[in-house]
Structure 1
Amino acid sequence: MSLLTPARRRFSPRRLAPLAMFEALATPHGVDRYLELVHPMLTVRELRAEVTEVRRNTADSVTLTLRPTRQWKGFEAGQFVQLTVEIDGVRRTRCYSPACSQYRADGRFELTVKAHPEGLVSQYLNAHAAPGLVVGLAQADGVFRLPTPRPDRIVLISGGSGITPVMSMLRTLCEEDYAGEVVFLHYAFTEKHVPYLDELRELDAARDNVRVVLAYTEQSTGGDLHGLFHQKHLTAAAPWHADAETFLCGPPGLMKAITSHYAAHGLAGHLHSEDFAPAPVVPADGDVTGAVTYLRSDVTATNAGETLLEQAEAAGLSPEHGCRMGICFSCTQIKTTGCTQNVRTGEVNSDPDVEIQLCINRAVGDVTLDL
């Protein structure tokens, strides 16, 4: 057996006792820290994946095919994974949704990552991802999934990088030979910004029950619809949408417009999307004091009691962020001094020079951020 095959071995209970002893001896690093010195895909506990294929189908996105280690449990169409890459010696974690069918036969999965202007990880992957890159991985999570049994009619709506989870849903339905009606409505700046364009056209032409509708917001020719979302778009794309289940993923403006439309027409129960917004912050009486200082930006603002991400944006700053609910870690920054409270757990942290997530922490008194 070669050095690479242990990554796929399954450990029997008989092996667990020696393994636990070895892990205790390996403390504080753990056995996987030593195994990765032999090969980064050799793991006992940790889930990792190797990039096996890289495609750049649009100017601002990269599509990666990944081969996970044996710990991978698969995913359901619509879910997301946390992917970790090391950039300049620092491990960075972000959330991405697999775009392939959940039934992919080779055990691999596909991610399409759009390069955002302020996106550290997305920019890195678009510029540097190559076959052989090994990344950290977490098991798939999320409740944005197709129901079982499948509804008779389905509308899939996406915008920008939100295409990936609904593309997975479409591919999964096609592999199931789903017989109901499906409309795939995607919003993009122009035709050249549409990932999977050729495949979408092929599915539209090959399947009588699948209709692909492309809406371009900055291109007045080509496509099927033009401009930002309007209720007439839904009427044109899926006139029966009131009798269907709709699955939505896209930028905040699109999500808000469509959510408002469905609510106004009594259809909120038929709309399914990821809710990337934390619960409103309700500070305890009397503890909203002090100021928040942003060192690198040379800005100081009175503490308003909101999350540090909201306060930074209110102060005119644009820190990198993603999910806004503590999942993707995009907004992680160094707190140099002061006390913060996690709005999800209530945990208070007064240690200096620690990383915190701006979207789920608020200031308790004076706080200084390296931002």
Structure 2
Amino acid sequence: MTSVLPRRIGGRLLALAETLATPHQLDRYLELVDPMVTARDLRAEVTEVRRQTADTVSLTLRPTWQWAGFAAGQFVQLGVVVDGIRHTRCYSPASSQYRADGRIELTIKAQADGIVSQYLYRYAEPGMVVSLSQASGTFRLPAVRPERVLLVSGGSGITPVLSMLRTLADEDHDGEIVFLHYAYTRDDVPHRTELDRLAAAHRNVRVVYAYTEGDARPGELTGFFGHEHLRTVAPWYADAQTFLCGPPGLMRGVREVYRELGVDDRLHTEEFAPAPVAPVEAGGTITFSGSAVTADNDGTSLLEQAEAAGLSPEYGCRMGICFSCTAIKRTGCTRNLRTGETDADPDQPIQLCVSAPVGDVDIDI
């Protein structure tokens, strides 16, 4: 009872303060004094910036007091204001979930058309304050750690599986661990120093690099993932649990091999790439009933069509991962752009970024 009472009093005082601050939220006033002093908003200060390769930037973040931590493999939503507009994207921490100072590390690949990634790669510096979400996602190690673990990554997909490796190392996990990372060349491997250090410090950890365009040294591989690569690095794959994150080509190749070998139930995946688009025939009218706006259906996602109609629905990843753009479909039929499945039930929550209207649709935004 004594521990509950202070929280209740604190909550009431906060509610009173926010009432007095009307019409603005209390945090809008606090950020004028110090953007890291917040009542409710979760934010983070950039404390370190490293540009390890020609197209990646690694940020160390110090979250505000609301941060609840994360499990290795999960992701957060990071928000920045670019040209007066707030943009949010999903990134996985690369650090161990046990990091002693409570800070998190993100490694971000500067995508050619990425508003947020390009902005951070060019302009991120210590002292920058960004918005942050609590961690979420189901891509994570099981509570009972597997005796054998294969971690496979490519490009910027290294972050969640590197977090898993660092976490297992901090737990002094003594099971066999192989970390297989794919990159164009040797110079395109982020966190290489950390990976080599972990392999040298833990007898049960083996790190293997595979290059799709560069030459290999002894112990390294060339080419793309296939049966030969799998048997070379982890001949015990059938008795292991595999965790995979990377670009679409790598994801597809690993899934096909595991399916052919009949061990796809031992493969766990996470991907941060745009969803493959299943063709949707245009036609009909979209009614954005929450805004009294209508538009002709052009066959693209509801998020894209809402933005083309002048609306600004909330979104995060734009690829069906974070659920930030979920809205209620009142009537009509929609097709999932990733799976091709249709949904004609009324009053259903759908993800705008991976849903396209089939004929007339009423969406409450």
Q: Deviations over 1:259-317 (max 9, x none)?
A: 1111121101100012668799899xxx952599xxxxxxxxx9675636899xxxxxx
Change (3 A) 1:306 1:264: farther
**Partner Cα separation in structure 1 for residue 22 and residue 333 of structure 2:** 30
Counterpart for residue 36 of structure 1: 31
- The answer to whether 1:226 aligns with 2:222 is yes
Q: Is the 8 A contact 2:301 2:352 kept in 1?
A: no
Q: Is the 8 A contact 2:157 2:271 kept in 1?
A: no
Over aligned residue pairs, what C-alpha RMSD do you find? 3.6
**Partner Cα separation in structure 2 for residue 28 and residue 183 of structure 1:** 55
Change (3 A) 1:347 1:361: farther
**Partner Cα separation in structure 2 for residue 259 and residue 342 of structure 1:** 24
- How many residues get paired? 324
Counterpart for residue 307 of structure 1: 301
**Partner Cα separation in structure 2 for residue 217 and residue 200 of structure 1:** 19
- List aligned pairs for 1:128-207, cutoff 5 A: 128-207=123-202
- The answer to whether 1:241 aligns with 2:237 is yes
Q: Is the 8 A contact 1:324 1:360 kept in 2?
A: no
Q: 2:8 aligns with which of 3, 7, 13?
A: 13
**Partner Cα separation in structure 2 for residue 168 and residue 101 of structure 1:** 5
Q: Deviations over 1:26-54 (max 9, x none)?
A: 34431111111111011111100000111
Q: Is the 8 A contact 1:94 1:328 kept in 2?
A: no
Which residue identity is paired with 2:136?
D
Change (3 A) 1:309 1:13: closer
Change (3 A) 1:326 1:101: closer
Quote the offset at 1:12 in angstroms.
Answer: 3.6
Counterpart for residue 353 of structure 1: none
Q: Deviations over 1:136-190 (max 9, x none)?
A: 0100000000011101100000000000000000001111111000000000011
Quote the offset at 1:62 in angstroms.
Answer: 0.8
**Partner Cα separation in structure 2 for residue 196 and residue 64 of structure 1:** 12
Q: Deviations over 1:95-124 (max 9, x none)?
A: 000001000001111101111111110010
Quote the offset at 1:220 in angstroms.
Answer: 2.5
**Partner Cα separation in structure 2 for residue 358 and residue 176 of structure 1:** 38
**Partner Cα separation in structure 1 for residue 257 and residue 129 of structure 2:** 43
**Partner Cα separation in structure 2 for residue 74 and residue 237 of structure 1:** 32
Q: Which runs of 5+ in 1 are unaligned?
A: 1-10, 293-301, 312-320, 332-338, 349-355, 367-371
Which residue identity is paired with 1:213?
V
Change (3 A) 1:282 1:236: closer
Quote the offset at 1:198 in angstroms.
Answer: 1.5
Which residue identity is paired with 1:225?
L
Quote the offset at 1:200 in angstroms.
Answer: 1.3
- The answer to whether 1:264 aligns with 2:260 is yes
Q: Which runs of 5+ in 2 are unaligned?
A: 1-5, 287-295, 306-315, 326-331, 337-342
Question: SS of the counterpart of 2:254?
Answer: helix
- The answer to whether 1:82 aligns with 2:77 is yes
Which residue identity is paired with 1:95?
C
**Partner Cα separation in structure 2 for residue 212 and residue 166 of structure 1:** 12
Q: Percent identity?
A: 55
- List aligned pairs for 1:349-368, cutoff 5 A: 358-362=353-357
Change (3 A) 1:323 1:250: farther
- List aligned pairs for 1:278-297, cutoff 5 A: 289-290=283-284
